[in-house]
Amino acid sequence: MIELRTAGEIDEMQAAGDFVASTLQALKARAAVGVSLLELDAFAHDLIRKRGAESCYLDYTPSFGSGPFGYVLCTSVNDAVLHGKPRPYRLENGDLLSLDFATNVNGWVADSAISMVVGDARAEDLELIALTERALDAGIAAAVVGNKIGDISHAIGTVAHEAGLTVNLDFGGHGVGRTMHGDPSVPNNGRPGRGFPLKPGLVIAIEPWFMRGTDELKMDPDGWTLRSADGSRTAHSEHTIAITEDGPITLTRSVR
């Protein structure tokens, strides 16, 4: 069911957006060569406890995962793009790291993701990250009253296609509110003028994620981590936004 939020409720959601954004920035500053994915998760967990927030991931058991996720942070490295389960792996120079983080603060959820290079960066990795960020900006720009979900999807997909990339539609954006994943679905490619009409009070996560050489995924034995089927590099960017009469509000706005 698609739910619309009042202006007062959107104001209340800002606390969750601010916390998610500040946590991702703290994690970005902490990610360095030699730091393990488990250390990043533990750091995020500590920030959640100090804030009095609740993790959306810890006990999450969706149909696409294998059992409870068990951690508070998704850590995807290089060819991993989504749902990367933290592990003892220590970051190496040049690793492309994507972090996805969602928490509940005072009953409201915000969800965001960033990608970065640890240490020395390859030009093509920076370009891929920039593509997801540009697609995210395009999707947000299309999230205005009078448009439809398909207009957001088309804006994202256009950025990908102009760069010569294909787009996987197995996972994409989604409604956000009292829970992390709700209606409507926001695919990363689509036809303009199609789908649910965008109305004031709709709160959604828009999340372009691209793979350099394929649009097919494979799953790790951990039952969660999704990688590009051909081993090519990947990147992921995400913001939670609220649609209003005056334009979209990016609740996780301080993320980059």
Q: What is the 3-state secondary structure (H, E, C) of 109-144?
A: EEEEEEEEECCCCCHHHHHHHHHHHHHHHHHHHCCC
Percentage of the residues of the chain whose pLDDT score is greater than 90? 98
Is residue 236 part of an annotated ligand binding site? no
Q: Left (φ > 0), alpha (ψ -120 to 50) or beta: where does 194 sit?
A: beta
Categorize the per-residue pLDDT at 255 as very low, low, confident or very high, splitting at 50, 70 and 90.
very low
What is the pLDDT at residue 84? Answer: 98
The verdict on whether residue 39 carries a ligand-binding annotation is no
Q: What distance lies between CA 7 and its chain's CA centroid? A: 24
Global confidence as pTM? 0.96
- Characterise 133 by phi-psi region: left (phi > 0), alpha (psi -120 to 50), beta (else): alpha
* The total number of residues written for the chain in this structure: 256
User: Six-digit token pair at 133?
Assistant: 């960020």
What residues does 112 pair with on adjacent strands?
Answer: 101
45 belongs to an annotated ligand binding site: no
The model's pLDDT over 160-211, given as tens digits with 9 standing for 90+, comes to: 999 999 999 999 999 999 999 999 999 999 999 999 999 999 999 999 999 9
> For 7-250, CATH number?
3.90.230.10
Rounded distance between C-alpha atoms, residue 132 and residue 164, angstroms: 13
Task: Give yes or no for residue 233 having a pLDDT over 50.
Answer: yes
| 2 vs 13: CA distance, rounded Å | 17
Rounded distance, CA 103 to CA 106, Å?
A: 10
| 21-to-78, 126, 238 alpha-carbon distances in Å | 22, 21, 11
Domain chopping of the chain, boundaries: 7-250
Rg (CA), the chain: 17
188: tokens are 């990363």
**Structure-block tokens of residue 24:** 């991702």
- Report the candidate in 28, 30, 35, 25 with the shortest Cα–Cα distance to residue 91: 35
Residue 161 assigned ligand-binding role: no
Is 181 marked within a binding site? yes
Where do we find the tokens 């990908």? 160
Average pLDDT, the chain: 97
Is position 154 annotated in a ligand binding site?
no
Give yes or no for residue 256 having a pLDDT over 80.
no
What is the C-alpha to C-alpha distance for residues 186 and 138, in angstroms, rounded to an integer?
Answer: 13
What is the β-pairing status of strands 182-186 and 234-236? Answer: unpaired
H or E, element range at 105: strand 96-105
Over residues 50-106, the pLDDT tens digits come to 999 999 999 999 999 999 999 999 999 999 999 999 999 999 999 999 999 999 999
What percent of the chain shows pLDDT beyond 70? 99
Average pLDDT over residues 230-243: 98
Q: Give the C-alpha separation, 17 to 122, whole Å.
A: 31
Q: Is 207 flagged in the annotation as binding?
A: yes
Return the exposure string of 229-241: e unless at least 16 CB atoms fall within 10 Å of the residue's CB, then b.
eeebbbbbbbbbb
Calpha distance 89→158 (Å, rounded): 35
